[in-house]
A and B are shown apart, each in its own frame.
Chain A
Amino acid sequence: MVEMTEEGAIPPSPARPHPAGRRLIGLIVVLALLGTLLGVLAWGLQPRTSATLLGQPAPPFEITAINGEFAGQRFALADLRGHVVVLNIWASWCIECAREASVLEQAWRAYRPRGVWFIGVDYLDTDTAGLAYLKRFDITYPNGPDIGSRIYQAYRATGVPETFFIDRDGIIRHVQIGPIGRAQLDMLLERLLTPGVSQP
Chain B
Amino acid sequence: MRVRVLVFLALLLLATLGGGIADTSAQTPSPDDINRVAKQLSCPTCAGINVADCPTETCAQWRAKIGELLAAGKTDQEILEYFASRYGDHVLQVPPPRGFFLGVWIVPVLAILAALGTFGYLVHRWTQRSARPETSAASPEEVEDEYLRRVQRELDTWWK
Q: Is the CB of B157 within 8 A of A8?
A: yes
Q: Is the CB of B61 within 8 A of A129?
A: yes
Q: Is the CB of A126 within 8 A of B85?
A: no
Q: Is the CB of B157 within 8 A of A145?
A: no
**What residues of B have a CB within 8 angstroms of the CB of A148 in the complex?**
85-88
Chain A interfacial residues counted at CB < 8 A? 23
Residues of A121-146 contacting chain B, CB below 8 A:
124-126, 128-129, 145
Task: Say whether, besides A124-B44, A148-B86, A149-B87, A91 and B153 are in contact (CB < 8 Å).
Answer: no
Once bound together, how far apart are the Cα atoms of A116 and B17, in whole Å?
61
Once bound together, how far apart are the Cα atoms of A93 and B56, in whole Å?
9
Q: Is the CB of A124 within 8 A of B58?
A: yes
Once bound together, how far apart are the Cα atoms of A91 and B65, in whole Å?
16
User: Chain B binding site: helix, strand, loop or mixed by DSSP?
Assistant: helix
Once bound together, how far apart are the Cα atoms of A3 and B154, in whole Å?
8
Tell me which of B44, B65, B141 contacts A13 (CB under 8 A). Answer: B141
Question: Considering only CB atoms, which chain B residue lies closest to A5 in the complex?
Answer: B157
Question: Considering only CB atoms, which chain A residue lies closest to B151 in the complex?
Answer: A2
**What residues of B have a CB within 8 angstroms of the CB of A91 in the complex?**
58
Question: B75 near A: Cβ within 8 Å?
Answer: no
Residues of B31-64 contacting chain A, CB below 8 A:
44-45, 56-58, 61-62, 64
Q: Is the CB of A10 within 8 A of B88?
A: no
**What residues of B have a CB within 8 angstroms of the CB of A126 in the complex?**
61-62, 64-65
Q: Other CB < 8 Å A-B pairs besides A10-B140, A148-B85, A150-B88, 10 of them?
A: A3-B157, A93-B57, A124-B58, A124-B87, A126-B65, A128-B61, A147-B85, A148-B88, A149-B87, A149-B88
**Partner-A contacts on B (CB < 8 A):** 44-45, 56-58, 61-62, 64-65, 85-88, 90, 140-141, 143-144, 149-150, 152-154, 156-157
**Partner-B contacts on A (CB < 8 A):** 2-3, 8, 10-11, 13, 16, 18-19, 91-93, 124-126, 128-129, 145, 147-150, 153
